Amino acid sequence: MKNKIILFDLDGTLIDSTEAILESFAVAFKTFNQPVPDERLIKAEIGHPLDAMFSTLGVDEEKVWEYVDAYKMHYRQISCAKTMLLAEAKEAIELASQYAILGVVTTKTAKYSIELLEYMGLMSYFEVLIGREDVQHPKPDPEPIQKALVKLPSDTSNIWMIGDTCMDMMAAKAAEIGSVGVTCGYGSVESLVKCTDNIYQNALEAVEFIAKS
């Protein structure tokens, strides 16, 4: 009997799409004849919604969505080929599916996230996927988690969010569910320790911890 719910973040938690993200940002800036920001600046923003990322990287507010469209047009073409599963991510999903109902809560576009997980043969493990277009307020707001839970057939209170940034942990806290941070992604250990008491190297270790909780 599955008496727990586990919600996973994607980037930095289950997948590494850094190459696809950086390439798509470069294309977006070049589309508008603008210099491409340093890769370190882009990486520091991964996990935030695209519009927020472009804004932080200096794009004028009235042009942000044009950049987002240019990004998405390229990203969709390359995302499957230039995204890989993180170490032991598949094993984490398989183990979690044995005792928990699974979902994905991401700031990526849901449509492309579903295509990516289907390409990897993993979408069938998840009962729900909530992406950027499904909510008004993305993580760290609790809305994405709350929307995911409404769609899941369970009355359990044993619910967890696994993610690699404080945004994931803050959303979990606001939604009043458990949180586990993983250090295989974009958030630093120094930042994660301020946001959760549970920190592990990757999703498999996180799932093993939840299994015993």
Do residue 191 and residue 98 come from a single domain?
yes
**Exposure string for 78-104, b = 16+ CB within 10 A, e = fewer:** ebeebbebbebbbebbebbbeebbbbb
Domains in the chain, number: 2
Do residue 54 and residue 115 come from a single domain?
no
pLDDT digits (tens, 9 = 90+) for 176-191: 999 999 999 999 999 9
pLDDT digits (tens, 9 = 90+) for 81-103: 999 999 999 999 999 999 999 99
Tell me the C-alpha distance between 79 and 83, whole Å: 6
Residue 120 confidence (pLDDT) above 90: yes
- Any idea what the Cα angle at residue 210 is, between residues 207 and 213, rounded to 5°? 160
CATH number (domain holding residue 30): 1.10.150.240
Do residue 70 and residue 94 come from a single domain?
no
Q: Which residues does the annotation mark as catalytic?
A: 9, 11
Do residue 96 and residue 156 come from a single domain?
yes
Do residue 104 and residue 176 come from a single domain?
yes
